[in-house]
Amino acid sequence: MTITATSLSFSYGPKQALNDVNFTLEKGQFHALLGPNGAGKSTLFALITRLIALQNGDIKIDQQSIKSQPASAMKRIGVVFQQSTLDLDLTVQQNLLYHASLHGITTSTAKSRIKHELTRMEMMDRANEKIRSLNGGHRRRVEIARALLHEPDILLLDEPTVGLDPQTRRSLNTYVRKLCSEQNLTVLWATHLMEEIELTDPVILLHQGSVLINALASALVEQSGYQNLTDAFHHLTEKDNLGVNR
């Protein structure tokens, strides 16, 4: 399952949030979407998930435009938003059942999938606890489990580790990478934390609404002339070093 964005531009009134963005996400690959705050990452997520409508350009999932086939696009995408979208007063299971019903999944099928996902995340014993009683890391796990309930081919995560401690961040990142390789999931992981990116990851670097770099992380380091990804990122986003697109 590939996602292709072509000539994507979006503005909030006079403020240009995205400007002529082009990229392709390859099937079964972990992609990192890098960018400082305000780079346009969340806008890009909102466009792919149809929370806001496309203004210019198009997004295609396996050659099907999300404009013409919105329902089929939604079936194939699982999302973890930057801000938690769980109902704090409902239990883990109730939150997950609600999501499953929105996708038209029967209760019995939903329950067996919930069991599978929660067991995999070592969260099954928390199924009947209210979200309010879970810590940030566990809430994120529930959100990832929820995003996978309808068995999507694409998983989008918008800064999923914000506010979590380094150990939990690492374990979530490792878990999603495992999903990606085991289930052939196409993953787009938005972040501004360099330690979440491996040198073999394809990286899309967004800066001020434009794609600054679209290359492997190792190539990004190489092209920048710096020793590591963190320095390369700061260098590239502090100065507008355009012209290094793949």
Q: Least distance from C-beta 224 to another protein, angstroms? A: 34
Phi, psi (5° rounding) for residue 144?
-70, -45
- What separation in angstroms does the CA of 184 have from each of 80, 130, 162, 178, 219? 18, 32, 25, 10, 24
As given in the structure block, the two tokens for residue 174 are 């490792």
Separation of alpha carbons 129 and 126, rounded Å:
5
Cβ closest to another protein, residue 5 vs residue 97: 97
Going through the chain in order, the beta strands assigned E by DSSP cover: 3-12, 15-25, 30-34, 56-61, 64-65, 77-80, 154-158, 186-191, 202-207, 210-216
Query: Using CB under 8 A as the criterion, which residues of the chain lie in contact with another protein when the complex forms?
Result: 12-13, 49-53, 70-75, 77, 79, 81, 83-87, 89-90, 94, 97-107
- What separation in angstroms does the CA of 192 have from each of 120, 169, 171, 209, 211? 27, 13, 17, 15, 15
Q: Least distance from C-beta 108 to another protein, angstroms? A: 11
Cβ closest to another protein, residue 109 vs residue 174: 109
| Amino acid identity at 74 | M
Q: Least distance from C-beta 190 to another protein, angstroms? A: 15
Cβ closest to another protein, residue 90 vs residue 215: 90
Cβ closest to another protein, residue 50 vs residue 170: 50
Q: Least distance from C-beta 220 to another protein, angstroms? A: 31
Q: Least distance from C-beta 189 to another protein, angstroms? A: 18
Cβ closest to another protein, residue 106 vs residue 119: 106
Cα atoms in the Cβ-side hemisphere of radius 13 Å centred on 183: 16
